[in-house]
Amino acid sequence: MFTRLGLAITILAAIFSLQIATAQTAADPSGVWLTQAGDAKVRVSKCGQGICGVVVWLREPIDSATGKPAVDDKNHNPSLARRPMIGLPLFQGMAQSGPNKWSGQIYNADDGNTYASNISVAGPSTLRVEGCVGALCGGETWTRSR
């Protein structure tokens, strides 16, 4: 039978464990995220010591000009410009750089360039994705999807 002190310690330990589990869940970027423009979904998953991000859905998966599945046609490397957009890896070397934050590089299929990037969990259903060229930075907020 618990004493009052023993019961209080048990309750505090349970609350502390729940808070840690909630914080770890909220800080986990794993899952499928809808881009701010709503034109793509990216599956983020743990990958070695960091995270990976791969395109898993496109609003317009068929290129209207060719009638074929969309490809990475803005890529400056001709051999990569033929790879399908679905399955396209976006993150490179994305390693944890702080609490709820990962840093590395992100590929932008809209212009075929790779940028320095930071990704942070802004809440249980929001992911902040930023890219920089020198001191100029921009970003968008992705929302958790199903």
Structural domain including 118 reads: 29-144
Query: CA-to-CA distance for 95 and 68, rounded, in angstroms?
Result: 35
Q: Which pLDDT score, from 0 to 100, does residue 25 have?
A: 43
Does 119 fall in a domain?
yes
**Would residue 8 count as lying in a domain?**
no
pLDDT confidence bin for 146, thresholds 50/70/90 = confident
In a domain, 13, yes or no: no
Return the CATH number at 68: 2.40.128.520
Q: Is residue 124 part of a domain?
A: yes
Q: In sequence order, what are the residues at sequence separation of 6 or more whose Cβ sits closer than 8 angstroms to the Cβ of residue 39?
A: 58, 59, 60
Map tokens 């609490």 to a residue: 99
Each residue's pLDDT tens digit, 74-133: 999 999 999 999 999 999 999 999 999 999 999 999 999 999 999 999 999 999 999 998
Q: Is residue 7 part of a domain?
A: no
Question: The whole model's pTM is what?
Answer: 0.80
- Structurally, how many domains does the chain consist of? 1
Neighbouring C-alpha atoms within 13 Å toward the C-beta of 110: 6
For residue 88 the two structure tokens come to 């396209």
CA-CA distance, 28 to 24, in Å (whole number)? Answer: 6
Cα gap 25→70, rounded to integer Å = 34
- Entry field: residues in the chain: 146
Whether 66 is in a domain gets the answer yes
Q: Are 146 and 43 in contact (CB under 8 A)?
A: no
**Does 4 reside within a domain?**
no
Query: 8-66 pLDDT, tens per residue?
Result: 343 433 333 333 333 344 489 999 999 999 999 999 999 998 999 999 999 999 999 99
